[in-house]
Structure 1
């Protein structure tokens, strides 16, 4: 029997430091997030970062927390419920960090007699710190707890026509009535070394102006290429002039070389360049979360206006958008009737 496990990032149980700290510990101690030897990672995370960060992060979470709970969890649950209504397969929802766990999700499917699982990371672009860590953990849990199961994963869908269409439509709809000077595509940042580590050719990725546009087998796992390609395809579909959009990366940690240009720095420069009305979309996420609601819609908004900007519009993620739900359900149903995913 076939079933589906949708997996998103996750969230603390509450916006209080006592719950934020274990969540950050699980997240930052992931060897695919901070990819250094365990002892060094433990020193950085538990000896330095977790001394102050839980309180700061808790304050940020409090700004965006809903009465129903974490926006990421609530929105993922809404999307999940809609998908369930559009397929006959059992569909469970899990988070890579926090609750409900991947093990809990697989158990829910096993309890319904599922032996073939379509593992669906809810990330359009592939990255070590998002997609890969889900795939690795799910396989570890499967081997240990559910050996009777088989897992098939949905590949990164950054360039799939159905996804591009619904993303473009969502952006277009959100921009109605907003006369923007510039549209910024802000993607979650990752260390440059992650790009090189996922380069299957071990030589293609130079992280320059040409490697992402030069055809290569490396692109299947190259987060940077996939971000640029998502942007290119959406811009092409919406007919946005080249001088009216740009791409940046947000949410970096100090001490490492991360993908550039940086969202906060670029946004702060824009008013001086004559950009007074800015729209920002965050296509690395399919559900609004701390990085979109606090970092972009609040902090970036404030910074933009402090530097002379006038109007700032944060475009919502796809969330439980009905068109997006239809796309996900269609991919699931296609898999249900095929030997392998056709997304």
Structure 2
């Protein structure tokens, strides 16, 4: 591989990784007086309006989810006059949005007997559509939430909006906080292709070994898939055109009878099985064993009456005890065939 090829590969991988890693938006609300210059908008439509709108978080109510104690944005029941209706909006900067991108944020509703509600909207140019609503009359604590962009016919310039709402501040509305808003981008197909080309340029393509070529192709396919995938709800990975659901964990197999031993075929010694041997033993125990034809037990009718059955050793179980010369008791048990002691 010559120097030019190696440099081209490095540049391609670097460019693609930078494009993948850069989120569309990150805001930690360290100082909300800087938000307007970044494209954020505030709109308090409460009726009648009160003495507050959005303001810097107050650690006296609760500290921020991350960073300095006051580094979040807050609103409270004073957004509207007493008995009025709160309708207070917070808008993100305008973003170029596509399906699959994710809005991440932390939310806390204080409640304390008064119902707090926050709604999240997306404006993609055709009006605002409700993505989710969260309400509680008790303290929720900080919750890390994620909402995904879906249903767009094409990439669109749009904004996300957070709406604090309460219908009667004499009964509802207390205090809410929002922290660490980010919008995660997904890579474009051209970016994925660029990264794969960079990886090819960095590597030495094996010409004479078909198996090695297959391994290269598999690795590049997995790399592209990993770039296109992103974390969805509940930590599940989501892939384009693939639906992923949670698979319940299977119960851990238990050795039959609670004890398992492996007989070495060479030495004949019983040993504790390693994980591979244990798996083979469990599989054998679960397999359907063929039914063996057994002779029926002999039926006897003694002269004094009654019925008795003559049982074989496999059907009999007995125990004996013997007193030793030292006064101790030697106990022996004869199990049924197939039982484990």
Which range, TM-score by smaller chain?
Answer: under 0.3
Greater Cα radius of gyration, structure 1 or 2: 2
Structure with more of its chain in strand, by fraction: 2
Structure with more of its chain in helix, by fraction: 1
Normalization by structure 2: what TM-score?
0.22
